Amino acid sequence: MGRPALAVLLAWLLLFAPATVRADEAGVLSWASDGQANVPFTFHDPEDANHMEGFEHDIVAALAERLGERPKLTQNDWEGLIPGLQRGLYQMVIDGVEPTREHKAAVLFSRPYYITSNRIVLRRDQAGLDSFDALKGHTVGTIKDTSAERVLSSEKSITIRAYDEESNAFSDLRNGRLDALLLDQPIALYYGGVSPEFKLAGGPVGRTEYAIAFAAGNTAERDRVNTALDAIIADGTLHRILARWNLWTPAMAEALDDHSDPHVAPVEWDRYRAAITGHGGWRARLIRYVGFLPLILHGAWLTLAVSACAMVLAVGLGVMLALVRRYGPRGLGWLAGIYIEVVRGTPLLIQILFIFYGLPSFGLSFSPFVAGVIALGLNYAAYEAENYRAGLGSVARGQMEAAIALNMTHAQALRLVVVPQAFRTVVPVMTNDFISLLKDSSLVSVITLTELSQTYVRLSSTYYDYIGTGLLVGLAYLLLGLPFVRLARYAEARLGRGMTQQTGHH
């Protein structure tokens, strides 16, 4: 990679790379949740997509106030919450995590802060299926790794379909792909209870507990938060929070021996239900879409930044790999070939997770932005190397011989004669690769970066609007890619004229 390209890459990394969150930041209670599609736990306010809310969000705020600290939320995908906790990106995870035996083997847990049950959700026009026994022999959807999934697994005649996101489960129920849903009561209430298409049926099924997760061995932090949790239980703060969200349950009253009535109206439940059901009509949709633009622009800018930095790295490393493999010593060429085959033969997602979560075990820790750039750059370098090797192979052998006959060194012949001709042939392929990289950058959402695809998940799951939001985000991807297509055509034309002038008769 040349010095100018390296300088550009370093400048972009310094400009855009956010600092890694430190779990021990003074005066801060750092916590994590997957707030993209997570109603009513921690989610984006339908009235203001830049504002986070939810009953767990309120619980953390109450805990932070008791501890005299400021809460700081880190967004992370569900699969990355515990790895991020173990890496030390934040102090705790509160996201409807159940303290199961398997989970307790990996992390510490606070005392339960919420106890509830599972509920059956049906289409409005369905009859029956209002008990667990009635679900036997049917296809039932649920959320992965929950008590509801374990309850369903106990009955072999039930066909289980487990989902990562609640909205996808409800979509399949709506379209008749499922006979019923069995979900945690908060999810059933806030997804099924606000739509005229669904209804909650029957009584409670099973028992579910949520607790706060801490890194293994961090007993001091766990005990400190437990003390604050005991305090907000004792003074009724937790009861009032749950009452505002219409989530106080008989199981909570029994477990805490709190049968009081704080006379708190379910204001947050009413507000959320009004916000969701009040978004009808084209005028309201248009106003909503205009409100999405700042979030989509931010996601597009982050997508472009990650992709551009990664492509600079991919091009520089890819050229070196191609030259070493074709013209370098046999040993180095063999190593370059192994690198290319290993990288191309393993999934990009695994590479991203390894660089972000695995390398810190070896003392290499990167911010999410830098980790995303490195992972995408190293992955695409392998593909670029093969493109450039093919381009180098397309240059006639006589070009190198003629350059050497003109007293050029081998390196000068490569730099001045062979590489420019090869580069001209691979420009269109490079453009296609960059557009592919733009789309593959969606995978960096697993390491806490909210780019375009994650923005789509956030907005579509909040408003249950997959078509309009999808068109907006798709248009953003299209607008990002089109200028580079035009740039490639311009560069190809200029290079073509340049090559004609160099090889023409005088």
Residue 38 banded pLDDT, cuts 50, 70, 90: confident
Residue 86 CA, distance from chain mean position: 18
What is the structure's pLDDT at 62? Answer: 97
What is the structure's pLDDT at 496? Answer: 56
Residue 7 banded pLDDT, cuts 50, 70, 90: very low
Are the beta carbons of 190 and 277 closer than 8 angstroms? no
Residue 278 banded pLDDT, cuts 50, 70, 90: low
Instruction: Judge whether residue 24 has pLDDT over 70.
Output: no
Examine the domain organization and report whether 345 and 475 are in the same domain.
Answer: yes
- CATH label of the domain that carries residue 57: 3.40.190.10
Last residue of one domain, picked from the residues 159, 190, 209: 209
What is the structure's pLDDT at 136? Answer: 94
What is the structure's pLDDT at 46? Answer: 80
Examine the domain organization and report whether 336 and 315 are in the same domain.
Answer: yes
Top pLDDT among 327 and 228 is at 228
Instruction: Judge whether residue 174 has pLDDT over 60.
Output: yes
Q: Model's pTM, two decimal places?
A: 0.72
Residue 503 banded pLDDT, cuts 50, 70, 90: very low
What is the structure's pLDDT at 14? Answer: 39
What is the structure's pLDDT at 57? Answer: 97
Average pLDDT over residues 181-187: 95
Residue 21 banded pLDDT, cuts 50, 70, 90: very low
- CATH label of the domain that carries residue 411: 1.10.3720.10
Compute the distance between CA of residue 454 and CA of residue 448 in angstroms, rounded to an integer. Answer: 10
Compute the distance between CA of residue 380 and CA of residue 308 in angstroms, rounded to an integer. Answer: 12
Average pLDDT over residues 176-188: 95
Residue 180 banded pLDDT, cuts 50, 70, 90: very high
Residue 505 banded pLDDT, cuts 50, 70, 90: very low
What does the CA dihedral 238, 52, 455, 87 come to, rounded to 10 degrees?
Answer: -60
Residue 229 banded pLDDT, cuts 50, 70, 90: very high
Instruction: Judge whether residue 485 has pLDDT over 80.
Output: no
What is the structure's pLDDT at 8? Answer: 42
Average pLDDT over residues 358-386: 88
Residue 446 banded pLDDT, cuts 50, 70, 90: confident
Examine the domain organization and report whether 386 and 498 are in the same domain.
Answer: yes
Q: Would 14 be classed as within a structural domain?
A: no
Least confident residue range of 58-67, 326-335, 372-381: 326-335
Examine the domain organization and report whether 177 and 220 are in the same domain.
Answer: no
Compute the distance between CA of residue 40 and CA of residue 2 in angstroms, rounded to an integer. Answer: 51
Instruction: Judge whether residue 9 has pLDDT over 60.
Output: no
Q: Would 10 be classed as within a structural domain?
A: no
Q: Would 152 be classed as within a structural domain?
A: yes
Residue 393 banded pLDDT, cuts 50, 70, 90: low
Average pLDDT over residues 388-402: 71
Instruction: Judge whether residue 290 has pLDDT over 60.
Output: yes
Examine the domain organization and report whether 32 and 179 are in the same domain.
Answer: no
Q: Would 12 be classed as within a structural domain?
A: no
The interaxial angle of helices 419-440 and 368-393, nearest 10 deg, is 140
Top pLDDT among 504 and 286 is at 286
Are the beta carbons of 375 and 352 closer than 8 angstroms? yes
**Phi and psi dihedrals of 31, rounded to 5?**
-145, 165
Are the beta carbons of 206 and 288 closer than 8 angstroms? no
At 119-145, the pLDDT tens digits run 999 999 998 899 999 999 999 999 988
Q: Would 5 be classed as within a structural domain?
A: no
Last residue of one domain, picked from the residues 223, 255, 278: 278
What is the structure's pLDDT at 394? Answer: 64
Last residue of one domain, picked from the residues 278, 307, 335: 278
Least confident residue range of 99-113, 415-429, 455-469: 415-429
Examine the domain organization and report whether 123 and 83 are in the same domain.
Answer: no
Examine the domain organization and report whether 300 and 429 are in the same domain.
Answer: yes
Per DSSP, the residues of 144-156 read TTSHHHHHHHT-T
Q: Would 8 be classed as within a structural domain?
A: no
Average pLDDT over residues 462-483: 82
Q: Would 248 be classed as within a structural domain?
A: yes
Top pLDDT among 494 and 181 is at 181
Top pLDDT among 41 and 484 is at 41
Compute the distance between CA of residue 463 and CA of residue 277 in angstroms, rounded to an integer. Answer: 10
**Phi and psi dihedrals of 38, rounded to 5?**
-140, 40
Average pLDDT over residues 273-290: 74
Are the beta carbons of 197 and 69 closer than 8 angstroms? no
Examine the domain organization and report whether 267 and 345 are in the same domain.
Answer: no
Domain range for residue 288?
A: 284-503
Examine the domain organization and report whether 241 and 189 are in the same domain.
Answer: no
Query: What residues form DSSP beta bridges with 28?
Result: 70
Instruction: Judge whether residue 495 has pLDDT over 80.
Output: no
Examine the domain organization and report whether 272 and 289 are in the same domain.
Answer: no
Secondary structure string (H, E, C) spanning 83-97: HHHHHCCCCEECCCC
Q: What average pLDDT is seen over the chain? A: 84
Q: Would 303 be classed as within a structural domain?
A: yes
Examine the domain organization and report whether 300 and 329 are in the same domain.
Answer: yes
DSSP letter at 237? H
What is the structure's pLDDT at 122? Answer: 96
Instruction: Give me the number of domains the chain comprises.
Output: 3
Examine the domain organization and report whether 326 and 242 are in the same domain.
Answer: no
Compute the distance between CA of residue 276 and CA of residue 192 in angstroms, rounded to an integer. Answer: 12
